[in-house]
Structures are given as C-alpha cells and as structure tokens.
Structure 1
Amino acid sequence: MKQCVTRQDGIKNLKQETGPVPKPGDEEVLVKILAVSLNYRDTEVCNGEYGHHKSVESDKSNLVPCSDMCGTIVSVGSNATIWKTGDRVLSTFNQTHLSGQILEENMSSGLGLPLQGVLTDYRVFPEYGLVKVPNYLSDEEACTLPIAGVTAWTSINWMRPIGDPVTGSDFTILLQGTGGVSIAGLQIAKACDLRIIITSSSDKKLEQAKALGADHTINYKTNPDWQNTVLEITNGKGADFIIETGGALTLAKSFECVAFGGCIAAVGYLSGKEDAEGNRMNTNVLALKRNVTLKGILNGPRDRFEEMLRLYEEKKIQPVVDSVFPFDEAKHAMLYLESGGHIGKVVVRVANPQTVP
C-alpha cells in the first residue's frame, strides 16, 4: 500500500512510501481509506509545531499524518461485532474519547500524532474508533466531519445533555473566519435556526458565507473594531456563543462582545499565540465582566459525533468542500490549506470506491 509520511520537518518534506497492508487483530477492523480531509493541526504536525500536551510529544520518526477519513471496512478481526465488511465509516479523532469530558489519557489516542494517522491506503482501527456514515453523504463530504464538524457541534452543545441541542433564533452565534470549523458551525447553526454572525478579511468569502445562511457578515480587515458591530447587531446583548478560532488578536474582542453569561469556545489561534506587543490579558477581569464561560474545545466524544450525525441526516446538511486533490498531490493539498485561501474543507482523494476489494 501507499502512505504519506512526515518527520515533522516541514510540509515540503512530506513524502510518499510503500508498505505492507496491515491485518486486523482482536476486536479490530481493516479499513480501505477513500477520502481524507485536512486540518490546520495537520500543517502544524508536519511543520513540527504541534505540542500542546506532553502525551503528543514525538521522536520525529516517520509519522503518517491526518486524522479525518471516510473509508470502507474490508476485513473484520476476531471478536469484532460492531461492523461488517462493506460498512462505510468515519474515524473519530481521539479514539478512546467515547463520552463526556476528554481526559488526559485520551490525548494519547489522537490520530495523526501521537498515533499513526490516516493519509494512507489502509489502516486498522479498534472497532470503537469509528462511526457510521450517513448514506446521503459522498466520501469527500463525509470525511470533513470528524474534527471540523464535531468541534463546532461540541462548541455549541457541550453544556447540554445528549439529545437536547441548542435551537432557536433567540440564540446568536459568532463565527470567526471561513475555515473548516467555522463553516461547519455556520451550517449547524443554520440547521438549528440560530442567528449567525461571521467574520472574514475577504468580502468574497463573506458573500459565500451569506449564501450558506449567515445572517450578518463583518469584514474584520475594513472593520477592525468588529466587536462593536456585533454588539450593534445584537442590540447590546452580544453573542451567546463564540467559536474563537483567532487567538491572541481576537480573544480580547470576543470577551467584549459575548453575551452576559455566554460561552466562548477556544478552538484555535490562527492569528498567533501572542499579540504584536506580547501583551497578556487579565482573563479573570474579562470573564467576570460579563460572567463568561471560556472553554477549551479539543474536538468531542464519539457519542456527540453520533448525535451530530443524526442532525446532519435529518436536515441533509451538505458539508462545504473547497477542493479535492489526488493522493499523489497530498503535499500540494497541505500547502494550499496552509496558505489560507480555502473556504470550508480541503480533501485528499485516496482511492475510488471501485478499487475496494
């Protein structure tokens, strides 16, 4: 089989190699991988920049990157009872995170670091590390959901019990940018009838977001005080939910425009890990000012993933795929993602369905 490997020494050094097809063991299944979606995390892994936790440290040996795949089960190991040959499945990100709050030990089960990832022809999974693909989704659409979709869903619903998601136009969500998590959040929020505000530095991307259902758009480049615009749009109340993907240059502004008692989901740091002056915020003061909950979101558990997929199935949500690259151009796909020119998700097509044995 073919697989892509990195020594975490730069995307340009991502290479393709061949190796034997693995065999499933006890309570495992072998999956023929059809499509893989890329995440910003994958670019950091390949560049040797990802290290949020001691359990994801690596010796820089050859690593198969990426965590999000859609594939077909081609072989079932002994005592595996959940799946059968021919089932179409999606991977979960942290394989052992099945329910509730993520624990430290779950971090060691992350695909694409520290575990070998999915940018490969075949991979063995524990049978609990997969979920069923809704039939209406294409492989390319489905593979976008394990990180982007689940992160957005968990950001909105982590305080709610399973089966009782947030719904209704009384709630306003603020989405930063038009990357994978934000666009998934937009589509989920639209399906749940939330009022949607989204920011971007590109008017073209904002027009695309408007076509997807955004109620209000803000160009943060031409309107750097966008937090004031959010307050104007909401008549001073602020956004009930903010999916905070910016980081150092946006978090203080998010605190200023979140609703009293609202939630900020700390998802990413696309604007950097510190501001231009290296300043630090007094988050206690900012959080107390509006009684805010600031929650780090590291994806979500399998049961939340399955809950989200039920909504996708009911509403027939079509994930936004910006572009699809062939397997031999995986490096170019990664560089394109890193450039930030996309809207929604970038996908690598690993194999066609007719190649599945």
Structure 2
Amino acid sequence: MTIPTPIRTAALPSEQDGSSSSNNIRRNWVHVATPKNKQWTTAMDGVDKLKLTSADLPTPRDGEVLVQIRAVSLNYRDIQVCQGAFNSYNTQARQQDLVPCSDMCGVVLAYPSTSTTPRFPVGTRVLAIYLQSHLRGEPDEADLGSALGLPLPGVLARYRCFPAASLVAVPAYLSDAEASCLPLAAATAWTALNWLRPLSPGVGVVVGGGSTTHRQQQQVKDGGGGGGASKTTVLVQGTTAVALAGLQIAKAAGCRALLTAATDDFAKRAKEQLQADETVNYQTHWAWEGDVLDATGGRGADVIFETGDGARAAAGGSARTLRKSFKNVTIKGVLNGGRDRLEEALAFYEEHRIKPVVDKTYAFAEAKEAMAYVKQGKHFGKVVITVEDGTNEKDGTNDEDADDGEDK
C-alpha cells in the first residue's frame, strides 16, 4: 500500500553520516510521520463517557480502500447507541470500545497494491452506505448485521477502511459537511417516497396523511381538479433529518408540501428555508389531521411517509388514524435504502441542486458536545462534526505526537 503525500513516512538521513551536507539536510527536512488514527469510542454507557483514543492507521485489505474522514453527521441512533439504548433490531451485545456513528464524507487515500482497477481512484470523495453489505433490493438479516456504528465499528474517526463496494461518489457541488448528511436520511426518504412508484406531481402523496381517488388522479393528469387537487400533496410529519429530506425531495419533484412540527420556530424555518407550502404545530393542534384535510380540500393523499422508531411503529403510530378513512391503503415499513437507492437519491439531489440543512457544526474534539446537543432535540436539520487530518499546516508536524494519544 502506498500512502500519498502528506500521509506518508519520510525517512531522515542516516544519523551515522556526519557530513555537513547531511546535517544541513537534517535541519531542513520536514518530517511527516505516518499518523495515528484518532477515534472516539464508547462503552455504550452514556454520551458523557465517550473517549478520544489513538490507534494505528488501518491498512486496507483486498477489496477495501483507506478513507480519510472529513465530516461526520449525527443521527439520533448514534445517541441511542452511546447510551446502550438502541434496540430497534437485533445487534451484538454491549461493546466496550465501539467507534460510533454511521454517516460520513471522506476522501480515498489508498488501496492495496493488488487492486489493479480500483473502483475509486485516490482523491475521490466518497460516502459510505449505512448497511455495508446492502447493495440493492430489500435488506435481509445479514445486512442488518453490517450496520456502521453497531454492530460494526463506526466512522467517528480520522481514518477508516471500507469495502470499495460499500462506497458511493459524492456530487461535486456538495461540501463535505453537506454530503455527510445524506447516507442515512436521503437514502431512507428516497426509498420510502419511491417504493411503490416514482414520486411525481401527478401522484397524490401525503407524508403523514389520507388518500386520493382514481378520478382525482385522472383530473391531475388532465391538468384539472382545481385548487389543492391540482398537485401532489406531501405532508411531512416532523422535522427529523429523514423527514426534512422527504420534504426537499417532494418539493424538488414538483409536489405541494405540508409539514407538521413540534414548535412554531421549526414550522417557520420549514417554510422559509425549505419552502413548505403549509405547516402546523402538532403540539398545539393535536387534531392536526383536520388541518391537513382543510389544506387539501378534504382530499387527503395517496402515500403516508411517517418517520419514527421501531417502538412507535409497533404501537401503530399515527397511521392508526387511517382507520377513519380507508381507501385502498397499503402500509409499508422502510428501514433504509441500499447502495442503489443512495446512488439514485444523489443523482436526484445533483439534478435539482438540493442541499441538506446543516443546523450546527462542531470540531472533532467537540464530539461530546455535539452528541449532547443532538440529545437535547433542539436541532433543525443535521449536526455535523468536522474531522481534521491531524496535520499542522504551518510546519507539517503531526499533532498526534503532541497529545500522545491521551484520552480526553
């Protein structure tokens, strides 16, 4: 494996050579040591117990590439993992030194010398899929066992090796921080909204609402119907990262978008930043389905996209309100999209120049603070941790030598 500049080991001239020229070389030589891999680990005993540790730089095996991680975005799942509370599906038992987090953007640094035709050349910016073995179709039990950040080591580190097949290229228009927000949220939203049929302005959709009739759909296709029936209606329930991705996808697809939010501020931001057509505060309007029906002229929609955890789904969630007005309803649970779905989502994002909402960014050393902020639930959009490469740009020295890998 060849490590490209500046990630390389530069050998100093021999100490046994006492010539003045050698001494001059030694004085002027910039020594760039092979870096240690700084990474945050958890014993799954609380966000406040996260530890910053040092490990050897990983070496890619056949089929893998070494990636320098530049940005990591947080999901609430990461908080649950760190607290030992993630149990939405079977995973391995509690781990003592687990690297958390699953969403990252990085750059390919190296691949094994045996890889004559690498999937991604050195320097390519990439994202990692959440379920590392889930390349296409529905995920199976084996795929669930390949989740980053539990049971597999996650991405809250400076370097990590990934199977090349589990990576996708990043559209050039996105920053590292923006791109890191997409692997889980965009793939999930895209898969859900395009599961039965591609989302389009002529197909009624409510992410959280009712149903249209065939006659009304035909009116939409014919350009008739009037008022709210002239466009697909999407009700985004909540302001999670997945929900906001669904809102952005729906708007880019030409749909009319409604949104329910927990606060007036979130509702306002959804209108101003993401052009939601109508919003409702579900904390002050408990019977918000009435607001949705009013906004759609009593029509409802075809597709309900509701985000939530497994416990909520098991209890029925707000989907139970469908019993009031069944109209050929199909309920489909969506866990996440595979590599194929993420690639589709990225192509759609690039076509429409969609940028995910970044609420706040933290430095790598502030991972605990970032996790604590997400735990509070006050964010609108994604929280991102920027990952420095550990090299001081002024003199080329490596900061790993300065802190000696001490836990913080």
TM-score tier (shorter): 0.7 to 0.9
Give the superposition deviation at 1:313.
Answer: 0.9
Match of 1:181 among 242, 249, 252: 242
Would the aligned equivalents of 2:84 and 2:94 in 1 still touch at CA under 8 Å? no
- Cα deviation, 1:213-264, whole Å, max 9, x if unaligned, reads 111101111111001211221222223333222564995544436xxxxxxx
Match of 1:125 among 150, 157, 162: 162
CA distance 1:301–1:16, change in 2 (3 Å): same
SS of equivalent residue, structure 1 residue 304:
helix
> Where do 1:326-345 residues align within 5 Å?
326-345=363-382
Match of 1:256 among 311, 316, 321: 321
C-alpha distance in 2 between matches for 1:291 and 1:349 = 46
How large is the Cα RMSD of the aligned pairs?
Answer: 2.2
Would the aligned equivalents of 2:44 and 2:94 in 1 still touch at CA under 8 Å? no
Q: Which runs of 5+ in 1 are unaligned?
A: 258-285
Give the superposition deviation at 1:355.
Answer: 7.7
Partner of 1:13: 49
C-alpha distance in 2 between matches for 1:230 and 1:354 = 53
Partner of 2:387: 350
Give the superposition deviation at 1:195.
Answer: 1.4
SS of equivalent residue, structure 1 residue 296:
coil
Partner of 1:202: 263
CA distance 1:81–1:117, change in 2 (3 Å): same
CA distance 1:290–1:338, change in 2 (3 Å): farther
> Where do 1:92-107 residues align within 5 Å?
92-107=129-144
CA distance 1:141–1:205, change in 2 (3 Å): same
Give the superposition deviation at 1:191.
Answer: 0.5
SS of equivalent residue, structure 1 residue 299:
coil
SS of equivalent residue, structure 1 residue 238:
coil
Would the aligned equivalents of 1:6 and 1:13 in 2 still touch at CA under 8 Å? yes
CA distance 1:253–1:22, change in 2 (3 Å): closer
> Where do 1:134-145 residues align within 5 Å?
134-145=171-182
Would the aligned equivalents of 1:64 and 1:116 in 2 still touch at CA under 8 Å? yes
Partner of 2:110: 75
Matched, 1:294 2:331: yes
CA distance 1:70–1:106, change in 2 (3 Å): same
Over the matched positions of the two proteins, sequence identity in percent amounts to: 47
In the alignment of these two chains, the number of paired residues is: 324
Aligned AA for 1:124?
Answer: C
Higher mean C-alpha deviation, range 6-15 or range 28-37: 6-15
**Higher share in strand:** 1
Aligned AA for 2:249?
Answer: I
Partner of 2:290: 228
SS of equivalent residue, structure 2 residue 246:
helix
SS of equivalent residue, structure 1 residue 333:
helix
Match of 1:193 among 254, 257, 262: 254
Q: Which runs of 5+ in 2 are unaligned?
A: 1-36, 203-230, 397-408
- Cα deviation, 1:188-209, whole Å, max 9, x if unaligned, reads 1111011111111211111110
Partner of 1:166: 199
Would the aligned equivalents of 1:173 and 1:240 in 2 still touch at CA under 8 Å? no
Would the aligned equivalents of 1:6 and 1:14 in 2 still touch at CA under 8 Å? yes
> Where do 1:260-279 residues align within 5 Å?
none
Would the aligned equivalents of 1:174 and 1:197 in 2 still touch at CA under 8 Å? yes
Aligned AA for 1:256?
Answer: T
Would the aligned equivalents of 2:237 and 2:307 in 1 still touch at CA under 8 Å? yes
CA distance 1:222–1:329, change in 2 (3 Å): same
SS of equivalent residue, structure 2 residue 366:
helix
Aligned AA for 2:199?
Answer: V
Partner of 1:66: 101
Aligned AA for 1:105?
Answer: A
Matched, 1:36 2:101: no
TM-score normalised according to structure 2 size: 0.75
SS of equivalent residue, structure 1 residue 239:
coil
- Cα deviation, 1:105-133, whole Å, max 9, x if unaligned, reads 11111100010000000000001010000
CA distance 1:239–1:335, change in 2 (3 Å): farther
Aligned AA for 2:282?
Answer: Y
